[in-house]
């Protein structure tokens, strides 16, 4: 009965084939691993937590931002790039196209690669992927925008998963898919016409 394929193997084969073909899958599951840190704004100093995470990077930082007005976070990303960390930022085009009040201009002025996501009504991801290849990988996600308001006025959450590189690589794979569809930005204000 070597030619007989069980139902479980058919499902596994179908998932593998759909991944190879680039088709959507319902979700991905990972065994629990690593350390988890949480912070809640405005109670916790969430901006400080984000900056400390950025400072921990040794090789790479991939960022996805919906709104980005925090000069302190932008400055931490610039400092990371200056110390040899590869830094790249994806941001929602609608929320970040203006120059006034936006921290994207600080990144551009320092030579940090920035691309705007234009395919979606809202590129609402808030993600920082640190050193996805390890050994000290980390992933930040949650509702927290990289803004002064998120740190001081809003009820926000952030979650950092450390030392779970399989999860960090899954987020990076998604980041790379988004990067392929994004438009590189060189100046603000950006019109995208």
Q: Write down the catalytic residue from 59, 75, 126, 164.
A: 126
Residue 131 appears among annotated catalytic residues: yes
Among the listed residues 92, 131, 164, 178, the single catalytic one is 131
Q: Are 157 and 142 in contact (CB under 8 A)?
A: yes
Angstrom distances, CA of residue 8 to CA of 4, 5, 30, 163, 192: 12, 8, 18, 30, 47
Please confirm, yes or no, whether 48 is among the known catalytic residues: no
Query: Which residue out of 124, 164, 178, 180 is catalytically annotated?
Result: 124
DSSP string, 35-77: EEEEEEETTS-HHHHHHHHHHH-SSEEEEEES-B--HHHHHHH
Tell me whether residue 124 is one of the annotated catalytic residues.
yes
The residues that are catalytic are 124, 126, 131
């Amino acid at each position: 009965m070597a030619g007989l394929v069980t139902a479980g193997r058919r499902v596994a084969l179908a998932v593998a084939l759909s991944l190879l073909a680039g088709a959507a899958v319902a979700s991905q599951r990972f065994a629990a691993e690593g350390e988890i840190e949480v912070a809640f704004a405005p109670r916790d100093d969430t901006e400080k937590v984000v900056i400390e995470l950025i400072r921990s990077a040794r090789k790479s930082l991939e960022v996805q931002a919906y709104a980005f007005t925090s000069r302190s976070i932008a400055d931490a990303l610039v400092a990371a790039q200056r110390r040899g960390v590869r830094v790249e930022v994806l941001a929602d085009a609608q929320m970040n196209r203006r120059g006034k009040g936006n921290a994207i201009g600080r990144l551009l002025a320092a030579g940090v690669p920035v691309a705007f996501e234009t395919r979606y009504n809202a590129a609402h991801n808030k993600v920082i992927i640190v050193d996805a290849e390890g050994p000290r990988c980390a992933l930040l996600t949650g509702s927290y925008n990289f803004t002064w308001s998120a740190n001081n006025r809003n009820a926000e959450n952030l979650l950092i998963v450390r030392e779970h590189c399989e999860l960090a690589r899954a987020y990076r794979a998604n980041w790379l898919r988004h990067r392929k569809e994004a438009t590189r930005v060189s100046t603000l204000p950006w019109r995208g016409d």
